[in-house]
Amino acid sequence: MKIIAAKYIFDGFKLLENKALIINNYNVIIDIINNDEYNHYRNYVYYNGIISPGFINSHTHMELSFLKKKIKKNIGLTKFINEVISKKKRQYSNKEKYIYMRDAYHEMIQEGIVAVVDISNNTSSFLFKKKFQKINYHTFLEIIDINHNHNNIKSYLDITRYNKLKISITPHAPYSVKEITLKMLGKTNQSLSLNKDIYNYNILTIHNQESIHENIMFKYGKGKIIDMYKKWNYKLDNFKCYKSNSLLTYLPWIINRKVLLVHNTYTNYNDFYYANQYSNVYWCLCPNANLYINNKIPDKHIFESSKILLGTDSYASNNSLSILSEIKTIQKFYPNISLTTALKWCTSNPSSFFEWNHLGKIKIGLTPGINLITDIINKKLTNISKIKVLI
């Protein structure tokens, strides 16, 4: 049994002052007590900082870990996409990719991350995730079909049939998935006859408005994304000019699902207001990746939602996979956002969204992992604030 205390304990929702946690040998929280009740016990430890539940990284791409420091910063989304595709065509061995994924995994462990929402375009990370399970995973198998006829979603299911991972089938982005496919993804489990033991199909995530040219594409039928597809000789005969921003166009097609909108770098206030009125629509923010690709983060109105999750994106677009680093960036751009609010975005909010009921909260009976955040001043992070994993 361990007794750990700090000036503040963040329970997933608020800061508790002068409390201590009693944790058994199975890392289960068995009591939350006043700080002075057991401070004379030998196994009592007081820490200088904030104790919090383990963090949840709500967006990354482990299969792209081998692209660490291989893509230039601030090149814009279309050039970034071209760089990723070009470098994926190089012959990196499975051993090289494994080593980079292992490095990503160990960094996230050291950064106090206990659960990861991972985007996969193939099965290259599946065996790795089955082996390294100190982290909880939700895998999104991502569809890209702008130049193909994958109108039957079942064509994507066979490659995951034998992998016992928590999986959802999801679209990559509104500019890379056909309207008919997005509408199919909005259908019910029953209509697709999915195996509920393998697939969690009720949750969708989608890269949303990561580039201004996504909105230009939908509103005017032109822009750099259209130019990119023409350069690739993609057939765009069926693409419509919808005369409105992308989010206003496609969200009604998938609104029957629980939806996580990722990046939102160019989501304007009208887009935000429209989407935020739906209780099942959440926002995932990856500010360091936004800066890496576009040298821009979402406007302040996005950060005013109560339905926010935090991600890091991959090593292809970030120097680290640290959620604490993402919070530092948010604090730099929007200093009025409290640390308590930002911590909700990587603990209780994602645990609720992804139904990881044992994570994200400090509560009797749970095993959320325990982090210590050091070097706090006036309930704010400093440049030297770090994570120490206690449990």
Q: Is 107 exposed, middle or buried (0-12, 13-18, 19+ CB in 10 A)?
A: middle
pLDDT at position 168, please?
84
List b or e across 270-296, with b for residues whose CB sees 16 or more CB atoms inside 10 angstroms. ebbebbbeeeebbbbbbbbbbbbbbee
Question: What is the CATH number assigned to the segment(s) 55-353?
Answer: 3.20.20.140
Q: What is the pTM of this model?
A: 0.94
User: Which pLDDT does position 13 carry in this prediction?
Assistant: 98
- Looking at the chain, the domain(s) classified CATH 3.20.20.140 span 55-353
User: What does the pLDDT read at residue 166?
Assistant: 80
Q: What is the pLDDT of residues 321-371, one digit of tens each?
A: 999 999 999 999 999 999 999 999 999 999 999 999 999 999 999 999 999
Helix (H) or strand (E) holding 21: strand 15-23
pLDDT at residue 199 in the model: 54
Q: Which CATH architecture has domain 2-52+366-389?
A: Roll (2.30)
- Decide: 68 and 60 in contact? Cβ < 8 Å: no
Can you tell me the distance from the alpha carbon of 319 to that of 292, in angstroms, rounded to the nearest whole number? 9
pLDDT along the chain (391 residues), means of 10: 94 96 96 86 91 98 95 96 90 88 97 97 86 92 78 56 72 93 74 51 91 97 95 83 96 95 98 97 98 97 97 97 98 97 98 96 98 96 97 96
Q: Which residue intervals of the chain bear CATH 2.30.40.10?
A: 2-52+366-389
Phi, psi of 15 (to 5 degrees): -90, 130
